[in-house]
Amino acid sequence: MQDHARRIRLRHLMYQIIDKAGRPLALFELSDGLVDVFRNDPKLIDALLPELTDEYAADTFGHDKWKNVSRTMRYMVLRELTTGFRRTDSLEAMGLARPSTKD
């Protein structure tokens, strides 16, 4: 349940970034936008990425917190946008994001 709730919250943050930009965003722009959100509200790390702040985080992920947040956000953006087509709870399935039409 917690993982599902975190995905919903991250999905909402992604949508806010896309909506605020008012234009299509590259994947790196979306993940960088999420990192900026976390920099502006570091409490979100504890709430949405507790594995990066627990007592074993430095041993597991290293000591550079922002590098870990950035890597995790890239993963979460890719996870959201490559979710199976039949899933109805992704940004794309809800009509809030769409794949690039560039060739």
Residue 91 domain flag: no
> What average pLDDT score do residues 6-28 get?
89
CA dihedral of 59, 61, 65, 68, whole degrees rounded to 10: 180
Q: Give 71 or 83, the one with higher predicted confidence.
A: 71
CB burial readout 39-65, b (16+ within 10 A) else e? eeeeebbeebbeebeeeebeeebeeeb
Q: What is the mean pLDDT of residues 31-36?
A: 93
Q: What's the domain range around 9?
A: 2-81
Instruction: Say if 87 falls within a structural domain.
Output: no
If pLDDT is split at 50, 70 and 90, which confidence band does 37 have? very high
- Residue 97 maps to a domain: no
Within-domain flag for 61: yes
Confidence band for 66, pLDDT divided at 50, 70 and 90: confident
Distance, CA of 15 to CA of 91 (rounded, Å): 7
**Structural domain tally of the chain?**
1
pTM as predicted: 0.69
Top-confidence range, 30-34, 38-42, 70-74: 30-34
Has residue 93 been placed in a domain? no
- Average pLDDT for 6-27: 89
In a domain, 23, yes or no: yes
**Domain annotation covers residue 88:** no
* Residue 90 belongs to some domain of the structure: no
